[in-house]
Structure 1
């Protein structure tokens, strides 16, 4: 019999989940509020787009430093500081008096959010160990999968009932509650003496990620990848990223150690994480639009129609224990296949397709996606040495963020490229989504099946 998680570890996971919920929720509900903000501040689409872009760029700039900060100051201190910064940015955004102040406070939010997810993984992987990691991550990934689905519903309700300022104010009590709970529950890991801070590495990697993510965000809102406003930041970001890769592989003590990719399980899991990021966030971009533009639903109704996908993710929570016993390889492959097949009905759906059929497809899709997410996260850290966990957490977060941005950009370009009917455009975009999901099978098959573990 596998050892139980134990109450202290469950409490730790729940507290970390509470802290992660605010940044994840903020990303989705803020996007729902963009049209309202454009009217409030009398600006166009390009201007209000900076509400999301500033946040995204701040996250990208902060993530690379998260591993070094965790080692230097201890994960508990960094976690608490991240929540304080995010809460302060949220309060400021809710009090914003013009677009400029809102963008500035959104940047502050992004700094806090950029530290949250990597620190969660570092704390849990080190605390749980390989024998319990799957079950612990089943708790944490619950939020990762569920919040993007229910976020639009929460955003619509807040806008309708309380006004746009509460889109940001709602984060403050969540963060304060998480800070108080973390003070008592998150272990005070002593700071270590990491190598000297790699300032040049940060000077290369932060703008590299910023350029790539900004270019992809522009691709999702312009004519496509050929637009100079997309090509310029993308090209600059990729060049800087290439320079960082060369430096990190040749030098000593890089900011983020990319030699982790020499570990086969980590490299394969990283590929799956990137491609499932394409599937999760790309499809979450398409699904609300389908219900609004093809079926004529409003934003709130579209969000409610996506609830079955969240319910599907709940059904596979017990799989964490299976991952701990048999490894992640088979579950990742099965989850990816199920997710791809459950997306197929949307590639043929029209204005009058049975809502029951589509709801069932979403339920199954949520289950497959959640299963793959739990298993691949556990597989990523299986062979990573304890000393390298913080770097692995940083890389994992970057891959998820980049995959999500690329998936959204690609599907937005596919939608915009179709000048025929709206239904045909969505058929094509969902077909691309199926193909992108299926691509994750390539690295998934490289995950080594584990021997059955029977810990005491």
Structure 2
């Protein structure tokens, strides 16, 4: 007896996904675009790199701190209102950043920008998934929703390099304005209104615990690249304090499950827990390698910043090419098979960089980047889809928050670890051969992340029904 076909994703959900992508693109770009801009900003604002580094650090810290309150804020305001509010905050902060008169003002405006972006990122997946009817497959929808996350680490540095070549640093922030304005207009016209459900009070104690926890962990990991690595006081002290606060938050949630800031009980579900673990590892592999690749091209191959950014375009092309196929395969074969295939392809395509030297053909490396991007784009879709398996509508925002935080923390951890490994293996190295050998070691560690991730993927379910209650007409209470 054949099972009934899963209902199709409604056209309204596809339209909403396109609207959300438009608004989310500048948020993703601004998470990575500064990597090629710090030297220019330090020179133009007459401050050391150690100071201007806070332009990136403050943004990422604000992004992480804002994410936990998304579930409460959506229940308070409704998804459409919250999305437009967050996008407006991001727009105004982008304009303010472009008009910054010194480094402290720029850093302050970046904090506001990060708060707006932090509200938007988990909300994007939530709003898309909540419009899908019960039993529908999410692969094709997630292929759209995950597009900014896949392209951001690749296109951000490229876009930044192009802007800095022809314009002043202010252009880095003005490029956000048209995306935000178009995104606001489309959201006003096309996103469905969703009156907020029964309001519940903000879990202030949970916020007091989890926000400093995230700040401590993310701040500590951001300092790892400096001399001393993990042995530095400003690395291990905030990380340890953050972990202690995070444990306290989880224990408190277990004892007091009603109306908590983040429903950590969802981690009892195999789908949410496994998806979070794999997104942590994929974040480490993705963002860690995005630290290594530009540095490899500049240090070992002798390219300038713009050329290094342009050389990453093939990886973005590969990610684009994977979208439709990966979405269809996820719906047809299930998350486990597609995720394993994506990690295997990504790992194998990283191996050429782990065995490359200063004379390796650039054509060979460009081809490897296309394949690597294909694998990277492929694995993101099943990971984002499987997290919502069997969830009720009011649980979707919390699953989105948990998985987004996992990827954010994984990216910070992977970047920090590979930075330490690169520093240790290239310290004192002489000549291109010595530098290339250090990069080889770091790239092998990136391959190791993908190997571990394949093992975790084996725990994923096969073909499953993604959502049990995706888009009811009436909005229920949180629990």
TM-score category, normalised to shorter length: over 0.9
What is the correspondence of 1:56-455 to structure 2 with a 5 Å cutoff?
A: 56-129=60-133, 130-253=135-258, 254-318=260-324, 319-418=326-425, 419=427, 420=429, 421-450=434-463
* Conserved? CA contact 1:131–1:324, under 8 Å: no
- Please report how far the alpha carbon of residue 26 of structure 1 lies from its aligned counterpart in structure 2 after TM superposition: 1.3
Equivalent residue of 2:169, what SS?
A: coil
Tell me the TM-score normalised to structure 1 length. Answer: 0.96
Query: Which residue of structure 2 aligns with residue 10 of structure 1?
Result: 14
* Conserved? CA contact 1:334–1:368, under 8 Å: yes
Counterpart CA distance in 2 for 1:132 and 1:32 is: 39
- Please report how far the alpha carbon of residue 452 of structure 1 lies from its aligned counterpart in structure 2 after TM superposition: 9.3
Cα deviation digits, residues 290-317 of structure 1 (max 9, x gap): 1111000111111111111111112221
Equivalent residue of 1:317, what SS?
A: helix
Counterpart CA distance in 2 for 1:452 and 1:38 is: 51
Counterpart CA distance in 1 for 2:35 and 2:295 is: 13
Structure 1: gaps (5+ residues): none
- Please report how far the alpha carbon of residue 2 of structure 1 lies from its aligned counterpart in structure 2 after TM superposition: 6.2
- Please report how far the alpha carbon of residue 234 of structure 1 lies from its aligned counterpart in structure 2 after TM superposition: 0.7
- Please report how far the alpha carbon of residue 252 of structure 1 lies from its aligned counterpart in structure 2 after TM superposition: 2.6
- Please report how far the alpha carbon of residue 3 of structure 1 lies from its aligned counterpart in structure 2 after TM superposition: 5.5
Tell me which of 45, 49, 53 is aligned to 2:49: 45
Cα deviation digits, residues 192-241 of structure 1 (max 9, x gap): 12432100000000010011001111113342111111111111111111
Counterpart CA distance in 2 for 1:164 and 1:452 is: 47
Tell me the TM-score normalised to structure 2 length. Answer: 0.92
User: 39-48 or 288-297, which moves further after superposition?
Assistant: 39-48
Counterpart CA distance in 1 for 2:268 and 2:453 is: 19
Equivalent residue of 2:230, what SS?
A: coil
- Please report how far the alpha carbon of residue 451 of structure 1 lies from its aligned counterpart in structure 2 after TM superposition: 5.8
Cα deviation digits, residues 83-115 of structure 1 (max 9, x gap): 000011110010000111101100110110101
Counterpart CA distance in 2 for 1:64 and 1:222 is: 32
Counterpart CA distance in 2 for 1:3 and 1:251 is: 37
Cα deviation digits, residues 390-431 of structure 1 (max 9, x gap): 111111110010000001000000011122321111011001
Counterpart CA distance in 2 for 1:81 and 1:452 is: 33
- Please report how far the alpha carbon of residue 6 of structure 1 lies from its aligned counterpart in structure 2 after TM superposition: 4.8
Counterpart CA distance in 1 for 2:92 and 2:297 is: 35
Query: Which residue of structure 1 aligns with residue 474 of structure 2?
Result: none
Aligned residue pair count: 453
Counterpart CA distance in 2 for 1:73 and 1:186 is: 14
Counterpart CA distance in 2 for 1:323 and 1:2 is: 13
Counterpart CA distance in 2 for 1:196 and 1:42 is: 46
Counterpart CA distance in 2 for 1:381 and 1:396 is: 10
> Structure 1 residues 71 and 451 mapped into 2: Cα distance closer, same or farther (>3 Å)?
closer
> Structure 1 residues 33 and 304 mapped into 2: Cα distance closer, same or farther (>3 Å)?
same
Counterpart CA distance in 2 for 1:358 and 1:222 is: 30
- Please report how far the alpha carbon of residue 4 of structure 1 lies from its aligned counterpart in structure 2 after TM superposition: 5.0
Equivalent residue of 1:303, what SS?
A: helix
Counterpart CA distance in 2 for 1:236 and 1:184 is: 45
* Conserved? CA contact 1:217–1:405, under 8 Å: yes
Counterpart CA distance in 2 for 1:193 and 1:416 is: 52
Counterpart CA distance in 1 for 2:210 and 2:186 is: 33
* Conserved? CA contact 1:266–1:383, under 8 Å: no
**Cα-Cα RMSD:** 1.5
Structure 2: gaps (5+ residues): 467-479
Tell me which of 12, 30, 38 is aligned to 2:34: 30
